[in-house]
Amino acid sequence: MAAKLPIAPLPLDFRFQPVATPEVAARVAELADGEPVGRAADFGGPEVLTLGESVRVWRAAHGVPRRTVRLRLPGRVASAFRRGVNTCPDHRDGTVTFARYVAANEGNPYAR
């Protein structure tokens, strides 16, 4: 949705740890086929990126969004995303970087 706007207001300082979908699928299949483990160990991508860094990678491949503006969101949940509480940097088990994933899926409408 942000790509369709002339200026995309986004929380550019939120942190994420993207994992390529084939790696997620392999992990889910491994867990489904194995013995019960209770709570499975965390599984994260190889890098923790801010949304701003991710947007720059996406823009380089797709040309959109042309401009972004930092949207400052208040509250505890937004603060947790800024701190990267949703990431697991001690479990960088995925191997495909976000840039490599975007490049490999150029032209794939399901990767957008």
Q: Assess if residue 87 is contained within a domain.
A: yes
pTM of the model: 0.85
- Of 24-28, 57-61, 69-73, 108-112, the poorest mean pLDDT is in 108-112
User: Please, which residues bridge with residue 50 across strands?
Assistant: 15
Q: Assess if residue 38 is contained within a domain.
A: no
Q: Assess if residue 96 is contained within a domain.
A: yes
What span, in angstroms and rounded, lies between the C-alpha atoms of 36 and 52?
38
Q: Assess if residue 69 is contained within a domain.
A: yes
Can you give the residue range of the structural domain that contains 19? 2-31+43-107
Q: Assess if residue 6 is contained within a domain.
A: yes
Of the two residues 33 and 1, the one the predictor is more confident about is 33
In tens, the pLDDT along 11-42 reads 999 999 999 999 999 999 999 999 999 999 99
Note the pLDDT of residue 112.
56
Note the pLDDT of residue 71.
96
CB-CB neighbours of 16 under 10 Å: 19
Q: Assess if residue 88 is contained within a domain.
A: yes
Number of domains in the chain: 1
Q: Assess if residue 36 is contained within a domain.
A: no
